[in-house]
Amino acid sequence: MTVMLIVILGLLGLAVGSFLNVCIDRLPAKKSLAYPPSHCNSCGHVLSVKDLVPVFSYLRLRGKCRYCGARIPVRVPLVESAAGLLFSFLFWKYGLTYQFALVGIYSCVLLVLAVIDLEHRLILNVIVYPVAIIALIADILIPGIGILSGLGGGAIGFGILLIPAIVSRRGMGWGNVKMAGLIGLMTGYPRVFVAILSGIILGGLTAVALLLLKKKTRKDAIPFGPFLSIGSFLALLWGQEIIRWYLNLLN
């Protein structure tokens, strides 16, 4: 029964991933999520149901539009697959509990923020502000974080990235500062430190690797949102364990 539920939740995740792709495509362009119906961005042809089966349609069509032959971004099946694996994993870890629902929602938001920042170098207020309100309500109503911990985490996350944003005009965008505040509301104190510092470490290591491989120069901007998202995911799932490990290491 458990295996069957894992498969069912994985299929649900694939469907959610399809919607996340709609958000990724339309929100940066300030388009409606509901209208017009799903269509090819190249020829404008409205897609049929058989064109919209997550992952499988992409494989069956070999990554091309059925009607005009335009390439479908490989990001589409990757996001769908990531959401499917995410839902299966979270069910395996939490079962059908409030943690599954909350971490699932937060993880989907983080995935959308990461991909949009990767593709457009944008952290959208239209995502950050509404989700911040949801996170505040969750901090109040759902056991585990608490409103004081959530507000403290939000202030800490915002404050950590506020200084480099002020000091360096190009080194840190204000979108990243707002995202860090949102992450603090999601994770709470003290897990916010795991989220932000993990993002900084991952971003720094990646930047060094790209410089050494000469894929980027010192003047090239590297989107920070994906690293914040990865750090936040680690904090949501294993933040307390990482903190205990670190404290034991110090002792």
**pLDDT at residue 150 tops 70:** yes
What pLDDT score was predicted for residue 226?
96
- Write the burial class of residue 110 (CB in 10 Å: 0-12 exposed, 13-18 middle, 19+ buried): buried
Q: Are residues 193 and 144 in the same domain?
A: yes
Is residue 237 assigned to a domain?
A: yes
Whether 145 and 54 share a structural domain = no
Its domain, for residue 88, covers 1-96
Does residue 105 lie in a domain region? no
| Residue 88 and residue 183 in one domain | no
Is the pLDDT at 187 greater than 90? The verdict is yes
If asked whether residues 56 and 152 sit together in one domain, one would say no
- 217 or 196: which leads in pLDDT: 196
Q: In terms of pTM, does the model score above 0.85?
A: yes
The domain total for the chain is 2
On whether both 57 and 147 belong to a single domain, the answer is no
Q: Is residue 112 part of a domain?
A: no
Cα–Cα distances in angstroms (integers) from residue 33 to residues 14, 58, 70, 78, 230, in the given order: 18, 21, 22, 20, 26
Question: What is the model's pLDDT at position 220?
Answer: 77
Least confident range from 54-63, 118-127, 161-170, 241-250: namely 161-170
pLDDT at 1 over 70: no
pLDDT score of 169 more than 70: no
Mean pLDDT over the full length of the chain: 92
% the chain with pLDDT above 90: 70
Q: List, for residues 63-97, the tens digit of each pLDDT value.
A: 898 888 889 999 999 999 999 999 999 999 999 99
Is 249 found in the same domain as 132? yes
Least confident of 83-92, 212-221, 237-246: 212-221
Write down the pLDDT at residue 37.
85
